[in-house]
Structure 1
Amino acid sequence: MTNLGTPTSPAASGSSVSDACRRVDLGQSLGILLRRWHDAVDLALAGIPHGPRGFQVLGAVVHDEPPTQAALAESLGIDRTVMTYLLDDLVAEGLVERREAEHDRRARRVVATASGRAALRRFEDAVRVAEESVLCGLDDDERELLQRLVRRSAHASSSPA
C-alpha cells in the first residue's frame, strides 16, 4: 500500500530529479518563481520611489488616460492615503505631476512628465531583463505561453463569478 502522505526524495524512490520536479505542486512552484521574480524586479526597480508599487503607478499613469488620484488608487487596489504619499514621492522625483481636471477644479489628474515617461521605458526594459533571467529555463515561445496563461488565469480569477 502506498503512503500518499509521506514525500520521498528522488534518490530514495529511484526516480530522477526531473520526475521530482514534475511532482512539485503548483503553489510551491509559483512561490519559488514569485520569490525569484520579486528579488530580480526589486533590483531592477531600485531607482524608483516605492519600487514595484511606484512602477505600477507610473505605468498606469503613462499607459492609461490620465486618472484622478482616487480612480488610480481604486483601480490599482491601493489605499487612498497610501496613494497620496506614493504620488508625493513620484512628484518629488519629477516623474508625475498633478494637474487640475478640466471638468472639475476640485479633482486632480495625475499626468506623467517627459522625465517620467523616459524613466518608465528604462524601468520596463530593466524589468523585462529581470523577468527573462527568472524564466531562463524556458525558450521564447514557452515564456510567451506562460505569461499569456498566467494573465488569463489572473483576469479570470479576479472577475466576479
Structure 2
Amino acid sequence: MSALEERFSAALHNTARAWRLLIDRRLKGLGMSQAAWMTVTFVAKAKTPLSQSELAQKVGVEGATMVAMLDRLAAAGLIERVPSETDRRVKRVTLTPAGTELYAQVRVEANAVRRQLLAGIDPNALLAAAELLEQLQQAMDDAAP
C-alpha cells in the first residue's frame, strides 16, 4: 500500500468515526445512542419499509443486535414492526408518529452539526470529496460477494 493510500484510509476512518461521535454527543440529550439514531434515520429515509435484516445490513450490525435495538425502539414507542404482505416470516419496520417526531429532532441536530463542520469548506472541494466517496462506495458494493 502506498503512503498516500494509507493516509487516505486512515483519514477516512478517523473522520467517519469522529463525525459519528460528534453527532452522538449532540443527540445524547434526545436519549439516543449512535445505533439508535442511525436505525431511526434509515427507517425514516427508506422509500418502502425495510425488513429487520435489511436494517441490520444498512446499520452494519448482526441480526440479533438489530432485533434487540428494535425491541428497545418499539418499547419506547418509536417504531412498529409490520408483517410483510408477501412473506409472513418477515417484519417490516416503520416509524410511529413519536418516531417521526424524534427523527425531525435528530435531523435538526444533525443538520446543525453538518452546517457547522462544512461552513468553511470550499463547495468545489466538497463536491469532489462527495463524488470520490460515492465512487469508493460503488467500488465496495461491486466487490461485495
Does TM, normalized by the shorter one, top 0.5?
Answer: yes
Shift of 1:93: 2.0
Shift of 1:130: 1.3
Number of the residue aligned with 2:3 = none
Say whether the 8 Å CA contact 2:24–2:33 is kept in structure 1: no
Number of the residue aligned with 1:94 = 77
The Cα RMSD (Å) is 2.8
Shift of 1:28: 4.6
Number of the residue aligned with 2:120 = 137
Q: Does 1:56 align with 2:33?
A: no
TM-score in terms of structure 2 length: 0.74
Say whether the 8 Å CA contact 2:42–2:58 is kept in structure 1: no
Shift of 1:122: 2.0
Shift of 1:110: 1.0
* C-alpha spacing 1:148/1:123, structure 2 compared with 1 (3 Å): farther
> For residues 31 and 105 of structure 1, what CA distance do their matches in structure 2 show?
39
Number of the residue aligned with 1:146 = 129
Shift of 1:58: 1.5
**Runs of 5+ unmatched residues, structure 2:** 1-6
Within the candidate set 47, 51, 69, 2:52 is matched to 69
> For residues 105 and 138 of structure 1, what CA distance do their matches in structure 2 show?
49
Say whether the 8 Å CA contact 1:49–1:89 is kept in structure 2: no
CA deviation vs aligned residue, 1:99-149 (integer Å, no higher than 9, x gap): 222233333221111221222122123112213333343134433442333
Within the candidate set 14, 26, 42, 1:44 is matched to 26
Shift of 1:79: 0.4
Q: Does 1:159 align with 2:145?
A: no
From the CA coordinates, give the structure whose radius of gyration is larger.
Answer: 1
CA deviation vs aligned residue, 1:48-75 (integer Å, no higher than 9, x gap): 5432x22222122222211221232234
Paired residues, number = 138
Within the candidate set 104, 107, 110, 1:124 is matched to 107
* C-alpha spacing 1:73/1:127, structure 2 compared with 1 (3 Å): same
Matched letter for residue 101 of structure 2: A
TM-score in terms of structure 1 length: 0.68
Number of the residue aligned with 1:17 = none
Shift of 1:26: 2.5
